[in-house]
Structures are given as structure tokens and as C-alpha cells.
Structure 1
């Protein structure tokens, strides 16, 4: 959500920033609504002052026996009360319309990110590891002989429909090991606070992080009004919803492993094979809450934490900064980490690490008290995958596949697999 005072003070700068997202002259509609709302508030205050003055004069007119003046003043007070109620109702409606508009307009992009239209204009800022040279033609995850027995799309479709998978045996255990490894790394080495959160949230929590009102079709809502979280960003960030905390409490750094649910609206025909794009998946999510001056450094640190997971797994990847045309609506700046998938002969996104600035904090009314005193300030919020577990599983098995159909597993996972080092061609841990 945007600061209406900043828009009033410099509408040209606001419009210039949004024009980088392809949005033109947004300030005019905002300021028109704001001026109408403020005019109604001023009119209500003026009418209230007039009503107060007339109310004081009613008694005096009665006391001196001036019945005509008494009746006139009494009618005036009643008229003003009716007028005030109508003006307040109009002001409330305009205030709601203004808030809705401010919530629908995306965040202002960071000045340092590249301009562009889509992912083709993203800029690479880091690359680690070289893709493996295979002596055979590598296949996608669902075609690896050792993986097929533990990755059942047909049964999942019978149970739930398309874009679901049933994992079992060695593949299920590998999936669990990856999530455990990620959590342990973030908690033990990176100092994040492990958190177990609900996956059902109230509607206002989805507003708080920006999934609503504009992107409701991307998520699932239950019949009693709860929403299934598309990511633990929603629950972890909203921990500070409506709270004013002490500066000494910051920064707060959370990590959670949760089920996530997305409708994949608008993705028809994309990644329909395999488990790259699912309605239900698991993710290890990181969220940081910081002071404004610390958010840029925290963004770099969070990116490094996600990259560390891939470094430890020995997976080739690259990190890009998203251009304005590919940037999420609620974010100022995003780093995408793309892991190498030999079965697709391409880098594919496995993590997004983003800084929202105070955009989410204003929606949530999340602030902190400066230690030196003064007015409370809005916190900055950041979120990032650490990592998407299913996509990481895909990368591990595709990069570790062998010509005989078996899969060699990264050494860092062996302790989580009872010392097992590979998945055999018949789908067994060995």
C-alpha cells in the first residue's frame, strides 16, 4: 500500500516510478478521490461546528421566550445532524474506495533494477557451477527409471485431478530429507527462527501481504472464508500485523516448511508434464522484518542463504535480478535463483528472494518504535524461498541421473538417508 502523503507531495515522482511498470498517470485518480474525501470531511467538520453553535443558542432563545428563534435553531440543529451523517457516510465510502485503489496499485520498483518487458530482460548477477557433461542424453525427472516407481501422477490424478503427484518410497524419503536439510541449514548455520504456521488464514492476512484484493484467483478459498496459503510468506510476514514493536526486536528472521497451494491461474499449457508446476507443493520459506536502512543488506544476505543450499547440494545455478516487467506486484526488487535442469537443458526458477520495503507494512500497520524516540516507523519486510522442495528434488535427480537409470545423491543428504548414497535403477535407496 502506498503513502498518500508522499503521492500528494510529489505526484510526478510517483507516476514516473509506476511508468516503469507500464502504468500511466496513476496519481490523478488517486488525488481526485483523496481531494473529494477531504472535502467531505471538511464539510462535515464545518457542519458540526455550525450545529454546536446553534445548539448553544437554543437554550438562550428558550430562556428569553423567543419561541420562533427557538424552533428555527432546533430545526437547524436537526438539519445539520442529518447533513453531518450524510457527509460522514460519503467520506467513509470515498475513504474505502481510496484504500482499495491504493491496495491495487503495485509497489514502486527499486531505482536500481533494470527496465524491461519480461524475463528475457532480467540481468544475471551470479553464476555458480558448470552443467555436467553427460555421456548420454539426460532425461526429465519423471522419465528416470529409478524415479518412476516413486512418482505417480496417474494415481494422484485419480485422487485429485491434474497437477498433483503421489510420492512414495525412496522419492518420498528424498523429498523429506531435502526439507529437513534446508531447515537445519537455515536454523543452525544462518540463525533463522524455525516456525510452524497454519496453512489456513483469515482474509485480512492475504490483504496484508498483497495476495488480495487483486490476485484472489491465484489462491484457494474455503467455504467458510479461510484462504489456503500460496506460501508461508503470508503467515510469517503477518506475525507483525497490527503490531508496534521495539527497535531492539529487529531484525526478525523466520523460516518455515509448509504445504503451499496455488490455483496456477493463467498457466494452462505450461509445464503440464512432471511436478514442476503443481497445485499443492512444499516450500521452505524465509521471511525477514527489518528497519528500513537494513533491508538492502538483508536482501543480499537472504539471497546468499538460498544460494548456500544449492552450493551444498552441488547444483549449478545462476542468480538474476528481475526487470520491471517481470517484477511481482508487491515487490520493489527481486532476485530469482535458477537451477540447471539437464532434462530440459535450461535454467529454471527455484527461488525468488524479494524486498517489499514498507509496502506490506503499511497494509498490515506493522511499525517499530525508534530507540532514540520519535514517531513509530513502518518496518520493511522481505521474503524468499529457501528453497522450493519439489523443484529441488527435480534438480537433484536430474543432475544425479546415471546411464543405467540410477541416481547418485549429494553427499550432504546422506546423513538424512540413513547413509544411503543413491537411488537404484529399480527405485530403491542403496
Structure 2
């Protein structure tokens, strides 16, 4: 959510920030609505003052025995009372319209975000690791001999439809091992607090984390009104909604491993093969609640946490900063980490690490009390994948594949796999 006062003070700068995203100028519409709302509020206050004056004069007229003046003033009080109620109702309606308009305007990009129209103009900032070389044509994850029997799309389609998968046996265990390895690393080495968070949330939580009202079609809603989380960013970030935190409590660093649900609206025909783009998937999420002065440094820290997972798994990757045309709605700056997937001979996104500034905090009224005791200020919120478990599984399987259909697994997973480091061509761990 944007600060209406900032739009009033610098409307041209506000429109210029939107133009960087490819959006039309909207400050004139915002300020027109804001002006109408403020005028109604002022008129209601004037009418209330007139009502109050008339109310005082009613008693004086009655004491004087001036019946005519008494009746006139009493009628005026009733008239002003009705006028105040009408003006307040109109102001409330205009306020709701203004709030809805502001809620649909994306966040302003940070100054260092590169301008661009789409993902082709994202800027590479880091490349890590060596891509594996093969003396055979590498397969996609679902084609590898040791994987195919344990990655069951047909049964999942029978129970749930397209874009679902049932993982079986050793592949299911490797998937679980990856999630455990990620959470343990974030807790034991990166200093995050593990949260077992709900996967069903209320409207307020979705709204506060900028998923509503604009992107409701991208998520699933239950028949009794709960939303299935698109990511645990929603419950983790919203956990501080309405709070006034002590500055000494910041930063708050959280992580959670949950199921995530996305309708993938508008993505028909994209990445339908394999388990790259699913309606239900698992992700280990990182969320930080920080002091505004520390949020840029915190984003770099979170990026390092996510990159570190891939480095310990030995997966080559590159990191890009998203251009203005490819950033998400609520992001002020986003880095994507893309893992190398040999089966497609390309890098694929496996994590996004974003700072929203105070954009989400304003929506959910999350503030902190400065150490000097000044007026409460809005916190900054950040979120990032640490990592997407299914996509990480894809990268591990494809990078470790062998000519005989087996898969060599990263050594760091051995403690989670009973000491085993190979997925055999027969689909069993060895």
C-alpha cells in the first residue's frame, strides 16, 4: 500500500515510478478521489460544528421562553445531524474507493532496479559453479530410468487432474531429505526460527501480504472462505500484523516448510511436462521483518542463505536482478536464483528473494517503536524461497544423472538418506 501523503507531495515522482514498470500514470485519479474524500470530511466537520452550536443555543432559547426560536433551532439540529450522517457515509464510501484503488497499484521499484519490459532484460549479477558435462544426452528429470517409476503423474491425474504428481519410494525420500536439509541449514547455520505455520488463512492475511484483491484468481479458496496459501510468506509475514514491536526485537527471521497452492492462472501450456509447474508443491520459505535502515542489507543476507543451499548441494546457478517489467506486484527489488537443469539445457528459477519496503507493512499496520522513543514507524518486510523443494529435486536429479539411468546424489543429503548417496537405475537407494 502506498502512502497517500507521499502521492500528494510528489505526484510526478509517483507516476514516474509506475512508468518504470510500464504502468499508466494514476496520481491524478488518486488525488481527485482523495480530494473528494477530504472535502466530504471537512464538510461533515463543519456541519457537526453547526449542529453543536445549535444544540447549545436550543437550551438558551428554551430558558428565555422563545418558543419560535426554540423550534427553529431544534429543527436545525435535526437537519445538521442528518447532514453530518450523510456526509460521513459519503466520506466513508470515498475512503473505501480510495483504499481499493491504492491496493491495486504495484510497489515502486528501488532506484537500483534496472529498467526493462520483461525477463529478457533481467541483469545477471552472479554465476556460480561448473555445469556438469555428460558423454550422453542428459534427460529431463521424469525421463531418468531410476526416477520415472517413482514419479507418478498418471495416478495423480486420476485422483486430482493435471499438474499434480505422486512421488514414490526413494524419490519421495530424496524430496523429503531436501526439505529437511534446507530447514536445518536455515535454523542451525543461518539463524532463522522455524515455524510450523497454517496453510489456510483468512482474507485479511492475503490482503495484508498483497495477494488480494488483485490476484485472487491465482490462489485457491475453500468453500467456507479460507485461502490455501500460495506460499508461507503469507502467514509468516502476517504474524506481525497490527503489532507495534520494540526496535530491539528486530530483525525477526523466520522459516517454514509448507505445502503451497497456486492455480497457475494464465499459464496454460507453460512447462506442463514433469513437475516444474504444479498446482500443489512444497517450499521452504524465509521471511524477515526488519528496521527500514537494515532492509537492503537483510535482502543480501537472505540471498546468500538461499544461494548457500545450492552451493552445498553442488548445483550450478546464476543470480539475476529482475528488471522493472518482470518484478512482482509487491516487490521493491527482487533477485532470482536460477539453477542449471541439464535436461532443458538452461537455467530455471528456484528462488526469488524480494524486499517490499513498507508496502506490506502499511497494508497490515505492522510497526515498530524506535529506540529513541519517537513515533512508531512501519517495519520493512522481506521474503524469499529457501528453496522451492520440487524444483530443487529436479535440479539434483538432472545434474546427478548417470549414463546407466542412476543418479549420484549430493553428499550433504547422506545423513537424511541413511548414509546412501545413489539413486539406482532400479529406483532404489544405494
Q: How many positions carry a matched residue from both structures?
A: 430
For the residue of structure 1 that corresponds to 2:324, the secondary structure is: coil
Aligned to 1:366: 366
Structure 1 residue ranges without an equivalent (≥5)? none
1:346-371 C-alpha deviation (Å, 9 max, x unpaired)? 00000000000000000010000001
1:284-312 C-alpha deviation (Å, 9 max, x unpaired)? 00000000010000000000000000000
Of the structure 1 ranges 18-27 and 336-345, higher mean CA displacement relative to structure 2 is found in: 18-27
Aligned to 1:146: 146
Aligned counterparts of 2:373 and 2:198: Cα–Cα separation in 1:
35
Aligned to 2:266: 266
Aligned counterparts of 1:75 and 1:392: Cα–Cα separation in 2:
74
Aligned to 1:239: 239
Aligned counterparts of 2:104 and 2:243: Cα–Cα separation in 1:
23
Aligned counterparts of 2:304 and 2:37: Cα–Cα separation in 1:
46
1:250-285 C-alpha deviation (Å, 9 max, x unpaired)? 000000000000000001000110000000000000
1:24: how far off?
Answer: 2.3
Aligned counterparts of 1:74 and 1:246: Cα–Cα separation in 2:
51
Q: Mapping of 1:322-337 within 5 angstroms?
A: 322-337=322-337
1:77-101 C-alpha deviation (Å, 9 max, x unpaired)? 0000000000000000000111111
Is 2:15 the counterpart of 1:15?
yes
Aligned to 1:211: 211
Structure 2 residue ranges without an equivalent (≥5)? none
For the residue of structure 1 that corresponds to 2:318, the secondary structure is: strand
Q: Which runs of 4+ in 1 moved over 2 A?
A: none
1:61: how far off?
Answer: 1.2
Is 2:409 the counterpart of 1:409?
yes
Aligned counterparts of 1:169 and 1:63: Cα–Cα separation in 2:
92
Aligned to 1:227: 227
Q: Mapping of 1:14-413 within 5 angstroms?
A: 14-413=14-413
1:131: how far off?
Answer: 1.0
For the residue of structure 2 that corresponds to 1:240, the secondary structure is: coil
For the residue of structure 2 that corresponds to 1:127, the secondary structure is: strand
Supply the RMSD in Å over aligned alpha carbons.
Answer: 0.5
For the residue of structure 2 that corresponds to 1:357, the secondary structure is: coil
Aligned counterparts of 1:384 and 1:63: Cα–Cα separation in 2:
71
1:214: how far off?
Answer: 0.1
TM-score normalised according to structure 2 size: 1.00
For the residue of structure 1 that corresponds to 2:360, the secondary structure is: helix
1:316: how far off?
Answer: 0.5
Of the structure 1 ranges 59-68 and 359-368, higher mean CA displacement relative to structure 2 is found in: 59-68
1:373: how far off?
Answer: 1.2
For the residue of structure 1 that corresponds to 2:125, the secondary structure is: strand
